[in-house]
Amino acid sequence: MIRSTKHFAFFIIILSGIYCIQGCQQKNDKQGSTTDKTDTTINPHHLAMTPPMGWNSWNAFGKEVTEQVIRETADSFVSSGLKDAGYTYIVIDDIWQGGRDSTTGLLYPDPKRFPSGIKALADYVHSKGLKFGIYSDAGTLTCGRMPGSYGHEEKDANLFAEWGVDFVKYDFCFCSDLGSTNIDYKEGMARYKAMGDALKATGRPIVFSICEWGDRSPWIWGREVGGHMWRMGSDVYDIWDSPRSDQDPVGILGSIDGETNLRRFAGPGGWNDPDMLIVGLNNTGNIKGGGCNDIEYRTQMSMWCMMAAPLMMGCDIRHMNEATRTILLNKDVIAVDQDTLGKQGYRVMRKDGWEVWKKQLSGNRVAISFLNRNSQNTNATAEFKHIELDSTAKYTVYDVWKHAQVEDANGKISATMQPHETQVFVLTPNK
């Protein structure tokens, strides 16, 4: 009885949270600004005002990640142009740890794979003009069974700050309710708040990336506990679509479908995170799936940008082929993701296996994408009145993959797509 009263009370808190966020969003839509730009208590350093961009070691390296890999990756960020394109954070995911010192209680890295220590590595990354990230977990162990930060939040946050960490991805393995159908939302929030507060107390600007796979609706409370991005679901594996979209692994399509109704929670300072980019993995590395073709990888990049998602690359960028390079370095599509308005796009039309998405951009522009889910070539035409555009408007149309202006749109817009292709157009109103 006491338990169900507690649950009811918590349910009300969550509901009022949704109501407040919806209300704030509507208010902000009208005012054209967001609360976080001014709310220095929630986001004191104004971090992640556009979706964070970078690279994470997990997809390509898993437990094989070494300091050599990180150094060479930092070098490649600069030489390949990724840094100039806006990618900033180099994040070591799980299994960098050697253990926790029983005397000092401090985490230390695996001495074989990180012989120079983490501080020296962070210094190296910083010397390239980039930022450095690390991973820990809200439970007693990480998902890779390394020591977690539960009960050590302050100590670990201080250590991370001393090392020069700029980004912390915080997982949720080995927490009390894991695997249970009786999800303890309050406990989840409390565990993230403990680390969020500890990171804030260090005074160092550190992006806090919440990774509890969307089970506890982190889009509702993520900002409040100091988060700047929160995972929406399971890991995205290197696959176009998975047999079931509600279980591990999800592919590109499953992940897009999981994101569609949560746009109101994203904006400057806090982003819905559909997981890392699988672009360029080509069925190699740590995660499985079977691989995608380059058209499908291009769709992931296009749709992540339409969804204002964090762009965390996952392939071995030291050895990108030309197709991967072209996708990850497309500044025109990156500009859609990084638009300062910070609006997440959403699906406006679905028909015969293709769909249209719309993302409001600054300067009265709008990005429109056509996504072809079909395994056949598809011609699609959408009338403006069906995709929430003024049917009398006329637009200049820029194709972000052709890098060229194409035919003006007048009352309708069309795309001719290969199987699983996505096309993205930026529409500017004609005066």
Q: How far is the CB of 98 from ligand GAL (least distance, A)?
A: 16
Within 8 A by CB and 6+ apart from 137, the residues are 94, 143, 146, 148, 149, 150, 170, 171, 172, 173, 174
Spot the catalytic one: 94, 166, 171, 339.
171
| Choice between 54 and 345, CB closer to ligand GAL | 54
Whether the link from the prior residue into 249 is cis, omega within 30° of 0, is: yes
Q: Pairing mode, if any, of strands 89-91 and 311-313?
A: unpaired
Ranges within 383-422 binding ligand GAL (CB under 6 A): none
Q: How far is the CB of 253 from ligand GAL (least distance, A)?
A: 19
Distance between CA atoms of 363 and 395, rounded to whole angstroms?
13
312 within 8 A of 54, measured Cβ to Cβ: yes
| Residue of 166, 235, 241, 337 interacting with ligand GAL (CB under 6 A) | 235
- Of 250, 213, 248, 210, nearest to 232 by C-alpha is 213
Annotated catalytic residue 294: no
Q: How far is the CB of 111 from ligand GAL (least distance, A)?
A: 20
Tell me if 117 contacts ligand GAL by CB under 6 A.
Answer: no
Tell me if 312 contacts ligand GAL by CB under 6 A.
Answer: no
Q: How far is the CB of 247 from ligand GAL (least distance, A)?
A: 13
Tell me if 370 contacts ligand GAL by CB under 6 A.
Answer: no
> Quick one: tokens of 344?
């997440």
Q: How far is the CB of 5 from ligand GAL (least distance, A)?
A: 33
| Choice between 280 and 314, CB closer to ligand GAL | 314
Per-residue binding letters, 87-106, with ligand GAL (x by CB under 6 A): ------xx------------
| Choice between 35 and 142, CB closer to ligand GAL | 142
Tell me if 296 contacts ligand GAL by CB under 6 A.
Answer: no
Annotated catalytic residue 171: yes
# binding residues, ligand GAL (CB under 6 A): 10
Within 8 A by CB and 6+ apart from 129, the residues are 78, 83
Residue range at the interface with ligand GAL (CB under 6 A); choices 138-146, 179-187, 263-271, 421-429: 138-146
How far is CA 335 from its chain centroid? 16
Paired strand residues for 294: none
| Residue of 171, 259, 273, 337 interacting with ligand GAL (CB under 6 A) | 171
365 within 8 A of 430, measured Cβ to Cβ: no
Q: Residue 321 is which amino acid?
A: N
Ranges within 210-229 binding ligand GAL (CB under 6 A): 211
Spot the catalytic one: 93, 235, 241, 275.
235
Distance between CA atoms of 194 and 110, rounded to whole angstroms?
26
Report how many helices (DSSP H) and strands (DSSP E) the chain contains, helices first: 13, 18
CA atoms 343, 348, 350, 351: torsion sign: negative
Tell me if 309 contacts ligand GAL by CB under 6 A.
Answer: no
- DSSP, res 169: E
Residue range at the interface with ligand GAL (CB under 6 A); choices 71-79, 139-147, 249-257, 311-319: 139-147
Strand order in the sheet with 346-351: 346-351, 354-360, 366-372, 422-429, 394-399, 404-410
Q: At 63, is the secondary structure helix, strand, or coil?
A: helix
Place of tokens 């249209």: 356
Tell me if 205 contacts ligand GAL by CB under 6 A.
Answer: no
Tell me if 230 contacts ligand GAL by CB under 6 A.
Answer: no
Ranges within 35-54 binding ligand GAL (CB under 6 A): none
Tell me if 156 contacts ligand GAL by CB under 6 A.
Answer: no
Tell me if 337 contacts ligand GAL by CB under 6 A.
Answer: no
Interface residues with ligand GAL (CB under 6 A)? Answer: 58, 93-94, 142-144, 171, 173, 211, 235
Which residue numbers are catalytic?
171, 235
